[in-house]
Amino acid sequence: MKSDFRARNHPAYWAFIVHRASGVLLALFLPLHFWALGQALAGEAALESFLRWSDQPLVKFAETGLVLLLAAHLAGGARLLMLEFLAWRDWQKSLLAAAAAITLAAGLAFLLNIV
C-alpha cells in the first residue's frame, strides 16, 4: 500500500496526470474552436459579433487557461520525446521542472500581452 502511494506522489506521475488532463481538455475544446471558425464562413457580421463577444474579461481569462493547457501539453510531450529518444539520465526531474517553467512562462507571457 505504501509503495502505491509513493508511486502516485512522484513528480513523473503528476507530469503524466497534467499531460493527460491537458490533452483531454484540449480535445473537449475542439468543437467550440471549430464553431468559432465556422462563424467566418457564416459571414462578416457573424464573425464580427463573435469577435466582439470574445473581448469580454471572462473570455480573456479562459483564453489564458487555454494557452496554459496548450503549453502544458506541448512541454509534457516534448519531455516524453526527450525521455524516449535521448539516453536515460538522472536529469528526468530537471525535465519536469523545465516543462513546468515553459508552461508558466507561456501563460504569463500571454496574460501580460492581453492586460
Q: What is the pTM (predicted TM-score) of this model?
A: 0.72
CA dihedral 22, 27, 29, 30 (to 10 degrees): 140
Domain that holds residue 45: 2-114
Q: What's residue 115's pLDDT?
A: 56
CATH classification of the domain holding 72: 1.20.1300.10
| Residue type at 25 in one-letter notation | L
Q: What's residue 3's pLDDT?
A: 58
For residue 1, pLDDT over 60 is answered with no
- The span from the CA of 65 to the CA of 111, in Å, is 10
If one counts the domains in the chain, the total is 1
Average pLDDT over residues 87-95: 72
| Residue type at 84 in one-letter notation | E
Q: What's residue 10's pLDDT?
A: 77
Q: What's residue 28's pLDDT?
A: 94
Q: Indicate the average pLDDT of the chain.
A: 84
Query: Which pLDDT tens digit goes with each residue over 47-57?
Result: 899 999 989 99
Q: Identify the residue whose cell numbers are 515553459.
A: 102
- pLDDT band (50, 70, 90) for residue 2: low
Q: Are 69 and 22 spatial neighbours (Cβ–Cβ below 8 Å)?
A: yes
- pLDDT band (50, 70, 90) for residue 16: confident
Q: What's residue 25's pLDDT?
A: 95
φ, ψ at 25 (rounded to 5°) = -65, -35
